[in-house]
Amino acid sequence: MSESTYSHDVDLLIVGAGPAGLYAAYYAGFRALSVAVVDSLTEPGGQLAALYPEKAIYDVGGIPSILGRELAADLFRQAGTYNPTFLLGHSANELSVLDDGSMSVTTDTGRSIHAKAILITAGIGIFTPRRLPVGHEYEAIGVRYFVPDPGALRDKRVLVVGGGDSAVDYALMLEEVAASVTVVHRRNDFRAHEASVEKMRGSTVQIRTPYQVSGIEGNGRVELVQITDHDTGVVERLAVDEVVAALGFIAELGPLTTWGMELSQRHIVVDTTMATTMPRIFAAGDITEYPGKVRLISVGLGEAATAVNNAAVAIDPSRKLFPGHSSDPAKQPT
């Protein structure tokens, strides 16, 4: 493939627009690298935006408390400082290494990106929610797996299914806007954080355990949900407008597993420079593995800066690893 046939030609391709990828996009611009960012989701922010937009985060340095969606928006705004190319809704699929050591990645949508280096910030991979065993025909017309905008469920009778953090957080969040919230979980115990479960038990949320959803009925929209007592088999029907299934998700590294880097279970092995076992391919964030690895946003942000600085040197060995401080007036974005 000649260079002119690539859809995009950049110094650094970042795979994943979660917090690590977004911060890396900013940082690579700060280091004067041209950047493209691909993400299979159509919204930037990774897990923050897709899984817990309304949950408060308390452990990012310098920010006492911030909602997932707010941090995602701030990271996206900062990432835009040096105008990277965002390819949202595109999954990185195939990798080819070219004779000069540069690489080309094709997406599931047929785009091709030529890059001198790649930074993989793919988190837990391409994630898809675990589906309810019934009611697939109501997906998008009353059965949903994410709640990016609680306002969409204002004054509705909502049934939340699940027993983990997402289910309990969704129930507490929706209690503020919905007409009613019922949580159905197939066990009596909830896996969610104890304090959240306590809060839910003290709220107006109705808790039905040990029940599971065994049927959904309606005419063009959800109207009734059938729940079955796990112990007795007794069936009940609840009048419901919306079902939020928070049953966790399946995360798949998918095509990245065929690229050739050393993997450790579902993670990419990196050294202290965030280099993978393939030349000019770096990784940062939840996807990395090394002794002592801790999967937190703050850790991913630090790894992103390390990875970008080392990628800059891998692309051009005459460059310095340490870029200087952003507070140096000569380094301010224009």
Ligand X SMILES: Cc1cc2nc3c(=O)[nH]c(=O)nc-3n(C[C@H](O)[C@H](O)[C@H](O)COP(=O)(O)OP(=O)(O)OC[C@H]3O[C@@H](n4cnc5c(N)ncnc54)[C@H](O)[C@@H]3O)c2cc1C
Asked whether the beta carbons of 269 and 276 are under 8 A apart, the reply is yes
Asked whether the beta carbons of 118 and 280 are under 8 A apart, the reply is yes
- Residue 36 found at the interface with ligand X (CB under 6 A): no
**Interface with ligand X in residues 146-205 (CB under 6 A):** 165-166
Indicate the SS3 state at residue 82.
helix
Candidate segments 137-145, 216-224, 294-302, 311-319, binder of ligand X by CB under 6 A: 294-302
Q: Binding marks (x or -) toward ligand X, 246..285, rule CB under 6 A?
A: --------xxx----------------------------x
- Residue 51 found at the interface with ligand X (CB under 6 A): yes
> Which is nearer to ligand X, 274 or 297 (by Cβ)?
297
- Residue 310 found at the interface with ligand X (CB under 6 A): no
> Which is nearer to ligand X, 135 or 255 (by Cβ)?
255
Task: Find the shortest distance in angstroms from Cβ 300 to ligand X.
Answer: 4
Between the CA of residue 76 and those of 25, 72, 196, what are the distances in Å? 9, 6, 29
Which residue of 123, 129, 142, 163 would you call a contact of ligand X, by CB under 6 A?
123
> Which is nearer to ligand X, 41 or 227 (by Cβ)?
41
Indicate the SS3 state at residue 36.
strand
Q: How would you class 269 by CB atoms within 10 Å of its CB: exposed for 0-12, middle for 13-18, buried for 19 or more?
A: middle
Which residue of 92, 183, 216, 311 would you call a contact of ligand X, by CB under 6 A?
92
**Interface with ligand X in residues 62-91 (CB under 6 A):** 91
- Residue 286 found at the interface with ligand X (CB under 6 A): yes
Residues 6+ apart with CB under 8 A from 203: 171, 172, 175
Query: In degrees rounded to 5, what are phi and psi of residue 134?
Result: -130, 165
With the CA atoms of 59, 65, 67 and 69 taken in that order, what torsion angle do they form, in degrees rounded to the nearest 10?
A: -70
Which residue of 10, 12, 19, 116 would you call a contact of ligand X, by CB under 6 A?
19
With the CA atoms of 162, 155, 217 and 159 taken in that order, what torsion angle do they form, in degrees rounded to the nearest 10?
A: 10
Encoded tokens for 141 = 């017309």
User: Which residues in this chain contact ligand X in the complex, by CB under 6 A?
Assistant: 15-21, 38-41, 46-48, 51-52, 55, 57, 59, 91-92, 121-126, 165-166, 254-256, 285-287, 295-298, 300
